[in-house]
Structure 1
Amino acid sequence: MHPKILVALLALCVCFNSISAVAQTSSFQFLEKPGPYPVGLKVVNQYDHSRSFPSAPGSSGTSSAGHGDRPLQTLIWYPSSGSAARPMTVGDYARLAAMEIRFDIPAAASKWAALLMGSSNVPLWAVRDAPLATGHFPVVIYAPSDSSVAWENADLCEYLASHGYVVLASPSMGASTRDMTDDLPGIDTQARDISFLISYAKTLPDADLSKVAVAAWSWGGISSLFAAARDPRIDALVAMDGSMRYYPGLVQRAADVRPDRMTLPLLFFTRGYLSLEDWDGFNEDGKLGPNVLNQWIHGDLLAVHMLGMSHPEFSSMIERKHDTKRFAKNQTADYDRDDANTSYAWVVRYTVNFLDAYLKHDAAAAAFLKRTPAENGVPRHFMAASFRPAQKSGSPSGTGTVSGP
C-alpha cells in the first residue's frame, strides 16, 4: 500500500475513533450515587372520582371500572429494604406511557418508547414492588412539565427515595385532554392532581404526612405554586426553572394565589443565560405581571442560578431522548454534555439537602446550604446561589450570600 494512502487511512481511523469516543460520552449520565436506602417502585392505576375525563379515542366505554372519572397513573418511589430483582430500565419506564389513560387497553404505540430506544436497556435503581423499608418518611410530590409523563425525572425521584423520601407523581394532563392546556384551567387541574396525590399518600404505610414538599420542573412549577397556595399540607417547594417565573400574569389572575403572602421555603433553580432579546419574547398575554420571586418575601428563598444549563437539561428523560443535534440546539455557550451531566447532579444534590434541612431539620444539610457553592465542591463557573431569609413584618428586603435555613 502506498505510504500516503496508509497515512490517510490511519488518520481516518483516529478521527473515527475520536468521534466514537465523543458519541459514547455525549449521552445523559446520572452521576450521583444512591443514598442509604435501596429504591422500590409501585405503579398504581387509580381514578379521581370527583372529576370526569373523556374516554380515550376508540374506547368502548365499558371496560374500565373507573370509566368517566379522571385517570391518574400514579408512580410511587420509596425506600426499600432491598430486593435481588432486576431494576427498572429506561425502556420499562417508557412502556408506562402507553397505559396512562386506559389502564386495561394499552395504546398501540408510544412516542416515548421510540424516542428512548437508544437508552431502553439502561438500568436505573428502582425495583418494582420491592419490600418497604421500616419507618415513616417525608412525602415529595413531583409535578412534571407541560403534557409530560410522571417519570420524566425518574433519576431525581429515585435519588430522593434512596435518601429516605416517599415520592409520588402522575402525568401532566389537561382537564379533559391528555395534553396539558397552557392556561388557568390547566394549572388548576394539575394543582388538584398534586393535592389528590397528597391525600392518596395518607393510605401509604411508610408515608409521614406531617412533612410534605412538592418538587417540579417547568410548567409543573406554576402548578405547584397554585397547589401550595391552596393546600396547607405543603411545607416546602422546589422549582426547577419553574414557569411561575415566566408566566406571572397567570399567577396575578388567580386571586387566591398571592406569592407575597406565602411563608413556605422555596428552592428555585434558574437556567443559564437569557438575553434581553429572549426576555422580550415573553412580553405577551399571561407573561406580564409582578415577579413571583421578588414577591416571595415571607418565606425563605434559595435561588440557584445554573449558569450552563438549558431548560430541557433539568429533566433526565428529556435529555436521554435528545440526540447530539438537539442538544447543540439547546446548548448554553460552550457547556458540553459532560457539563450538563455535572450540572444536573448538583441540582439533585442541592434538592435533597434543601429537603433534608427543611423537612427533616438535618443539621448537616442546613450547614451545606449555608456554605458557598465553592465550599461545597461545585466546580467553578457552574453555579451562583443567593439566600434571602423570610422577612418579618415591616423589615426591609435584601439579598445576600447563602446562609441557609
Structure 2
Amino acid sequence: MSDVSAEAVAKAGKPTIFFDGVSNRRRQVTLTFGDALEIAEEGAAPVRWVYADIRRADSPAGLLRLACASVSPLARLEIRDASLGAELAARCTRLDEHQATRRGTARIVGWSLAAAVSIVCVVLFGVPLAADRLAPLVPKPIERRIGDAAEVQMKTIFGRGTCDDAAGQAAFAKLVNRLRDVAGLDDSMTAAVLPTAVPNAFALPGGKVFLLKGLLDKADSPDEVAGILAHELGHLKHHDNMRGLIYNGGTSFLIGLLFGDVTGSSAVIFASRSVVEASYSREAETDADTFAIETMHALGRSPKPSAELMFRITGKEGGSGFTILSSHPLTEDRLARMTREDRPVSGPPLLTNDEWRALKGICGGSGKI
C-alpha cells in the first residue's frame, strides 16, 4: 500500500459487506485505499476495483451500495459507515457518471416524446399505408378462404338459404355478368340473393357479392339494383375488405396470414365484423361510388336510380336498425352526387320486363337450404 494516510488506513479497516456477483453469500470484508480499491476477505485473495470504474447503485437511505463496471455486473459493495463512504466517494471521480443529469433527463424526455409521436404516426399513417400496399398482394386462395369463413357468419345472421328460382337466377346472372364484364372482374366472382327482409347488399373477400331480398323488394327497376351491385363490385375491385381486415386486425391478422391460420377465430371475427359493422372508410365508400358511376356510364345507364333507391330506404327506415344505412352513410350527399352524374340513357335495357319480373320473384316461396 502506497501514499495512504494513517486516517485512510483506519477508515479502510472498518468492515463492510461484499457480494462477488457469483454467489449470493454475504462476505464481510475490509477495504484498503491504494492506487485501486482492494476488497479483502480473510483467507481469500483480495479483489481490486479501479476507482474510475466504480459506480453508485440503487440503495436505501443510510447505505452506500456500489458496483464496478469492469467486473461482474452483479457484484455489489455495501457500506454503512458514512465516513468510510465519503472517503471512498472522494476517490471515485466517476461515481455518478451513469446517473441522469438535467441534460440526460431532457434527452430521455425528448426521446420518449419522439417515441410517442412515432407510435401515433404509425397508427395514423403507417398502418393504413401498409394495408393499402398489402391488400392487393394477398393470394386469391387465401382471400377466398377468408370469404368462405365470413359467408358462414353472414348466412348464420341472414339465413342459410339462397334464392333459387330458375328464371330469377338466370335474370340475376345476366345482370351480374354485364356488370362484371364492364367492371373488369374475372369469372371467379360469385353472386347470390339471400331471402331476408333486410334491405342491404354487401361484398366479401374472395369475390363474393350478396344481394338481400329486402332491397330487391324495394327496387323499382333493374338500374336501381345494378347501381347498388356496381358499388359492391367497386369494393371488390379495390380490395376494400382485405384492406379493412389488415387495418383492423393489425399484427395478429398478418401473423395469421403468414402462418396460414386464416380460417381460425381471428379471421372469422374480423371478416364478419367488417360486414356487420360496415367498417369501410369514407374514402373507400367514395371510391366505390366513383366505380359505380363509371360502370353505369359504361353501360349507357344512369347511376342516379341506385341513389334514389338508397334514399327511399334510409328515408323510411334509417332509424330502424340494420338497413342499408349502416353500410352506406351520407345518403343525401350520395344522391346529390349521383344526380350531378345523371346522363341520358344511351345503352340498351339491362333486363327485359319479363326478366325483371323473374328477378323480383327469385326467392319464390323459400330459398335453397
| TM-score (norm. length: structure 2) | 0.26
Larger helix share, 1 or 2: 2
| TM-score (norm. length: structure 1) | 0.24
Q: Which has the larger radius of gyration?
A: 2
Q: Which has the higher contact order (CA 8 A, sep 6+)?
A: 2
